[in-house]
Structure 1
Amino acid sequence: MANSTPGLERCDVLVATGPGQAVAATGVAPITLADLAQFRPIVGELVVEPDGWGVVGTPTNFYATAVTHTMDGELFDAPIEVRWTPTAYVFDYGDGTTETSDASGAAWSGTDESWTETATSHAYAERVDVTASLTVVFTAEVDAGGGWFAVPGTLPVGAPPVSVKIFEVETVLTNGDCMANPSAPGCG
């Protein structure tokens, strides 16, 4: 990759200035996110509970599966490790509402938690079919054998979109079991 800074040349040598910090040696350009293009982070997926559908006015749960991970490879003919860390999540619920969170969200645990509001859930106002999407914002760190150092900037990566079907539900009071007595009041 060509260097865009006049007078600086690419090199695989960095000078450690302290734990987790490094600076480019004189005449050496620092590593950038553009240099790490071959190390595209694993974005995971957007999960919608329950199973890709929801009910008008009731929380539909969304969460991301992206996690911190490392990749091995070469950069400027030197072996390196790149550590990608998700630092923000942009949830686009498909109805014109977006939310940026530093939390990835989590699955509902058990039936007692189903349909409850979470940090990343969304309640739709009307019956609609939407396509929800997720952008995970990553930071990168590199280790070329001398310890980890941060690469300046962030990298937003989109997860595959998910179709979400929102239903409208009406409840009716009945007098007993409608399967056993279909002619009971409210069963028909």
Structure 2
Amino acid sequence: MKSHNRALMIGFCVVPFVVFPLVAEATAKDPIAVGYEEKGIDVGATNWVRDEDSGEIVPAPPGYVSNDPNQYNAFPQCQVDDGNLAIDCLAKQRVCPPRADGKPGVPVIWKVAPREIANPTWTDWQGNGGGPTCLYDKNPEDLLPRIAALIQRAFDRLPVVPGTLTAQPSPHTLRGAETNFYAKAAEQPFDITILAQKIHIIAKPVQYRWDYGDGTSLGPTTTMGGPLPQDRWGEKTRTSHAYAATGDFDVVLTTYFQGTYSVNGGPNLPIPNQGQFSSPPQTVSVWRSVTRNYADDCNTNPQGEGCPGGAQGNR
């Protein structure tokens, strides 16, 4: 009888093969309850997945499809193979402190098995060292601070298409003349998963940096520049550059994207820091111009310098 009372203090009843509450029963305002059953712990979600970023086991959102070859389940720390509880284990089981909202935690051992097996033989999962961990009622709000801590790294790893760079004139320009550079960049949406939650990210271009390849640069600036008609090439613009020397120069455009994210269709939240994404280098060849005066034209002197039949024209 004494052992039976100890089990009741933590919410267990030692009767095999049925569902027993580990915490207080759910109310109308709190429909999610943790339960103990022969197959493991039920927290309102029977599909558990391993999050790739944190390595933790978390409830899968509705409709989530996992590529993990394994399936996971949680078993009470003191459960034995026949579904009963080991009474002598209860006094030594891990103590799980309550959440901020007062909900108690359940000490569990995570186990793993191949996903394709319907009724598998579970083995201890070693991802957390194999020891007991604390499992709490499913509460999406608890995940928001953890997602916020991971969102910047996830944003920086997105396959964002950087802005494209155009030079006028190109691929050749003249030394001392203004070469006009401008960018094109677009807003881009992404759908990813963090802690098994569906995250929608929008990356919006907001600033640009121009590295002209000769040691000079412009920005970051909100100015993306714009094209000029050919009859205005050589004019100075807010993003143009005049090269002081001849040669080939690799120009790189870096586009700064500001991101927002939403969790499971919730409100858009700002991603704190901008992501930087650079375009491949574009080579601009800078030539020098030479001016000479001639007494007659190529019609009068077809062999003259610079004419098709002349010495320079045949080179």
TM normalised by structure 2 equals 0.47
Q: Aligned to 2:148, which of 30, 53, 63?
A: 30
Structure 1: which 4+ aligned runs deviate by more than 3 Å? 11-15, 172-176, 185-188
Which residue matches 2:61? Answer: none
RMSD: 3.2
Q: Percent identity?
A: 24
Which residue matches 1:61? Answer: 180
Which has the larger helix fraction?
2
Read off the aligned partner of 2:237 and give its amino acid letter.
T
Distance 1:70 1:173 in 2: 59
User: Cα offset for 1:29?
Assistant: 5.1
Aligned 8 A contact 2:167 2:179 in 1: yes
1:164 aligns with 2:284: yes
Aligned 8 A contact 1:53 1:60 in 2: no
Q: Is there any run of 5+ residues in structure 2 with no aligned partner, and where?
A: 1-52, 56-98, 100-137, 308-315
1:127 aligns with 2:246: yes
Q: Is there any run of 5+ residues in structure 1 with no aligned partner, and where?
A: 16-23
Distance 1:163 1:80 in 2: 38
Aligned 8 A contact 1:84 1:138 in 2: yes
Query: What secondary structure does 1:84 align onto?
Result: strand
Distance 1:170 1:14 in 2: 70
Structure 2 CA distance for partners of 1:73 and 1:29, relative to 1, 3 Å: closer
Task: String of CA shifts for 1:40-81, please: whole Å, max 9, x gaps.
Answer: 311032222212221011111112222222223333323332
Which residue matches 1:51? Answer: 170
Aligned 8 A contact 1:88 1:136 in 2: yes
Distance 1:50 1:162 in 2: 13
Which residue matches 1:105? Answer: 225
Structure 2 CA distance for partners of 1:14 and 1:48, relative to 1, 3 Å: farther
Distance 1:166 1:12 in 2: 62
Which residue matches 2:301? Answer: 182
1:117 aligns with 2:236: yes
Read off the aligned partner of 1:107 and give its amino acid letter.
P
Distance 1:135 1:155 in 2: 10
Aligned 8 A contact 2:54 2:195 in 1: no
User: Cα offset for 1:157?
Assistant: 1.4
Distance 1:12 1:125 in 2: 63
Which has the larger strand fraction?
1
1:92 aligns with 2:144: no
User: Cα offset for 1:114?
Assistant: 1.8
Structure 2 CA distance for partners of 1:59 and 1:28, relative to 1, 3 Å: same
Which residue matches 1:152? Answer: 272
Distance 1:43 1:173 in 2: 47
Query: What secondary structure does 2:274 align onto?
Result: strand
Aligned 8 A contact 1:45 1:159 in 2: yes
Distance 2:305 2:147 in 1: 75
Structure 2 CA distance for partners of 1:37 and 1:76, relative to 1, 3 Å: farther
Distance 2:300 2:191 in 1: 66
Task: String of CA shifts for 1:157-180, please: whole Å, max 9, x gaps.
Answer: 11100111001012345567x232
Q: Aligned to 2:197, which of 69, 78, 101?
A: 78
Which residue matches 1:143? Answer: 262
Distance 1:86 1:75 in 2: 23
Which residue matches 2:44? Answer: none
Aligned 8 A contact 1:83 1:140 in 2: yes
